[in-house]
Amino acid sequence: MTTNIALPQPGEVPTGRRRRAQDYLQHHRGARIVAQLALFLVFLAIYSMLIAFSPSLGRFMPTVPALLVDGFGTILVDPGLWEGVGMTLYATVLGLAISLVLGSVVGVLLSIHRNAYLSAQFVIDFMRTIPPLALIPVGLLLLGPTLRMEVTLIVVTAVWPVLLQVHFGVVNIDPKLLETARSFRIPLWRRMLFIMAPAVGPSFGTALRLSATLCLLLAVGTELIAGGSGLGYLVGWYQQAFRIPETYATIIIVGLLGVALNSFIMFGERRLLGWHRRETKAARS
């Protein structure tokens, strides 16, 4: 099927040009960043015009200079912000770490026997569908607006995706791999380290991504609703004080924190699981 005859295709011309622009942007990092920044300026211009022409919106949305000067200018030099960033990040990472360990252990235990998972299935499914923020009143009642309450809520929520992904990762290991290892008399710890761990790796990566998003949502949500400290609390506080530029600036910082967390995890995943992606890609093509 390699003998394609190149016929002139009038309809194809725009697609071709578009394809060329796409290839160019994909392969030239500098050009891509310049184009993205230009787009950012366009967004800012549209936003400024929106505010300028609609005073009712302007009451609740800061102008760009106000956002930069009153917003970022005020909060970036405020030690309270950095304390908040530290608190939110600490709760998120601590909750994530506990969830990962706990979820992995229980997930592996549940995969020992088919009946173990079947027995636990209903409890797991019910617990994991309780919307996590609903537990905030319960947490407030039992533990008060403390870091311990925040981390507990995060773990109660984020442990389920880890547990399920690890469990299915273990169950779906190719039995031939395990049998081969056993007939070569490879000791258990080496089997776990060199066969089970890499096989579960990809689904563990998925769990990590899902849980990290949940953890940040929970941390910020708890702080906003329950009060206490952290970035969520700061946003609520600025909004109630009607300090609009500061509110927006803090929200943007929350978003940037989320982006940083995601990119960090994606970077780690690429380093540790790059072999998996290459392998699946090779298998597909």
Nearer to other proteins, 85 or 261 (CB): 261
3-state SS, residue 260: helix
Candidate ranges 29-37, 166-174, 176-184, 195-203; the one touching other proteins (CB under 8 A)? 29-37
Angle at 44 between CA 41 and CA 50, to 5 degrees: 145
Interacting residues of 73 by C-beta distance below 8 A, sequence separation 6+: none
Where in 47-106 is the site for other proteins (CB under 8 A)? Answer: 57, 60-61
* Residue 10 touching other proteins (CB under 8 A): no
Where in 235-274 is the site for other proteins (CB under 8 A)? Answer: 235-236, 239-240, 244, 247-248, 251, 254-256, 258-259, 261-262
Binding residue for other proteins, selected from 96, 140, 158, 199, defined by CB under 8 A: 140
* Residue 156 touching other proteins (CB under 8 A): no
Nearer to other proteins, 196 or 218 (CB): 218
Binding residue for other proteins, selected from 13, 16, 22, 171, defined by CB under 8 A: 22
Find out whether 214 and 155 touch, Cβ atoms under 8 Å. Answer: no
Q: Where are the alpha helices (DSSP H) in 172-196?
A: 175-183, 188-191
Binding residue for other proteins, selected from 13, 16, 28, 36, defined by CB under 8 A: 36
Find out whether 108 and 169 touch, Cβ atoms under 8 Å. Answer: no
Q: Element (H or E) spanning 55, and its range? A: helix 55-58
SS3 for 113-127 is: CHHHHHHHHHHHHHH
Candidate ranges 147-155, 165-173, 184-192, 212-220; the one touching other proteins (CB under 8 A)? 212-220
Whole-angstrom distance, CA of residue 98 vs CA of residue 211: 11
* Tokens matching residue 272: 């540790």
Nearer to other proteins, 102 or 177 (CB): 102
How far separated are the first and last CA of the chain, in Å rounded?
Answer: 17
* Tokens matching residue 82: 């950095």
Residues that bind other proteins in the complex, under the rule CB under 8 A: 18, 21-22, 25-26, 32, 35-36, 39-40, 43, 57, 60-61, 115, 118-123, 125-127, 129-138, 140-142, 213, 216-217, 220-221, 224-225, 231-232, 235-236, 239-240, 244, 247-248, 251, 254-256, 258-259, 261-262
